[in-house]
Amino acid sequence: MRALRLLAIIAAASCGSATSAAPSAESTKPPCPVTTPPPIAVTPPPATGSLTVTTTTTGSNLPAGYTVTLDTGQSGTIGANDSITATGIAAGDHTLTLSGVPGNCTLGSPNPQAVTITAGSTTQVGFAISCTAAGP
């Protein structure tokens, strides 16, 4: 027991926190620093995902392509039979619209389409378009 008390006094004396009845030069030492372990860094999952859009156009007199627009304002061109991927889209529910469909073509898919973007993954959506020969 006496040895434990002696170790505690020695440890405290090295930082200036030893107690004694009479003030001494050792009582002016700075207090012992308190060390705290560094915080554990927790990386949240990505809050964004990707969207791959595919167009499948059949028939004759096919257009060169279309425009796809997401409700976030992101838009881009896509060929008549093509696939494009947009990245960095906020996770959640969105609406995707296909425009630039000529009069001789009809959409076989809903337009606009509701899509749900899942964080850290790629959502797939497709548009089916059928075109006929243009009139006289």
> Which domain CATH number covers 88?
2.60.40.10
User: For the residues 121-130, what does the mean pLDDT come to?
Assistant: 97
Place of tokens 């995707």: 96
Domain presence at residue 27:
yes
Judged against a pLDDT cut of 50, whether residue 92 lies above it is answered with yes
- Is residue 112 located within the same domain as residue 76? yes
Edge-first strand order for the sheet with 113-117 is: 75-79, 65-70, 92-99, 113-117
User: For the residues 64-85, what does the mean pLDDT come to?
Assistant: 96
- Is residue 74 located within the same domain as residue 116? yes
**19-56 tens-digit pLDDT:** 555 555 555 666 666 778 888 888 876 799 999 999 99
Domain presence at residue 62:
yes
Domain presence at residue 87:
yes
At 15 the pLDDT is: 59
**pLDDT range class, residue 136, cuts 50, 70, 90:** low
Judged against a pLDDT cut of 50, whether residue 7 lies above it is answered with no
- Is residue 112 located within the same domain as residue 87? yes
Domain presence at residue 95:
yes
Whole-prediction pTM = 0.67
Half-sphere exposure of 115 (CA within 13 A, CB side): 30
Percent of the chain predicted with pLDDT > 70: 74
Domain presence at residue 136:
no
- Is residue 64 located within the same domain as residue 93? yes
List the domain range (segments joined by +) for residue 3. Answer: 1-38
